[in-house]
Amino acid sequence: MSLNVLAQEKYQLVSQRRALQWFLLPVMLVTIALGWKYPLLGFTVAAAMATGMIGGVLRGRYVCGNLCPRGAFFDRMVAPFAPRRKLPAWMRGLPFRLAVLAGLMGFMIWRIAQNPGDLNHWGLVFWSMCALTTAVGLGLAFTLHPRAWCAICPMGTLQNLLGGHKQPLRIAASCRSCGKCEAACPMSLSIMPDKKAGALKDRDCLKCPECIAACPVNALSWPEGRNG
């Protein structure tokens, strides 16, 4: 395959992802803006959670990287204005993330249990959880990193645990360790240290095409049979 064809394919993959994110982004904005008045809108949050868990079993954090409306918001609207500082190790570590998962899911279940027969109540709970965590995510974005929330998001943690090892990014020996892939990665993952292993070990890879498109020597790719 010629370099021109490869470059065109990579451009198309990135363009498709970004167009999809712009399409999904309003879902979150409308839900947060109007969910307090129209509680059933909160079920879009439940749908996103269910999609994330199903997707996690199949492809790890693919949903986080490509289909999550809030992830789209952070990538497309927040990232251009936010810093990209390195997240502390404890924040990326499983003990803290599992504590966040248990705390938020426990709180959500407790709130739903207060009036389990009322769908509007369920919707308000989903809406309030989304609004609260998005506010926290914005605070983290403008102090640390655009996707800092995604490092500790309960759904992201579940996807990491369910299938983060599946379809890992392949790293060819032709990698020059230039760092352009890491600069393009929405999660700022360390990719180059895994060059010797031939595949990215980090289970928080969002399975997006940004790093592949940024590589000047086409050293990054997905396993055979995967098209982005």
Three-state DSSP class for 199? strand
Mean of pLDDT values over 173-193: 95
The answer to whether residue 153 is domain-embedded is yes
- Structural domain total, the chain: 1
C-alpha–C-alpha distance, residues 113 and 1, integer Å: 57
pLDDT in tens, 128-165: 999 999 999 999 999 999 999 999 999 999 999 999 99
The answer to whether residue 23 is domain-embedded is yes
C-alpha–C-alpha distance, residues 135 and 133, integer Å: 5
Q: Which residue has the higher pLDDT, 226 or 133?
A: 133
The answer to whether residue 119 is domain-embedded is yes
Closest CA to 204 of 192, 218, 186: 186
The answer to whether residue 195 is domain-embedded is no
pLDDT value at residue 52: 95
C-alpha–C-alpha distance, residues 156 and 187, integer Å: 12
pTM: 0.92
The answer to whether residue 181 is domain-embedded is no
Residue 9's pLDDT band, with cuts at 50, 70 and 90, is: confident
The answer to whether residue 176 is domain-embedded is no
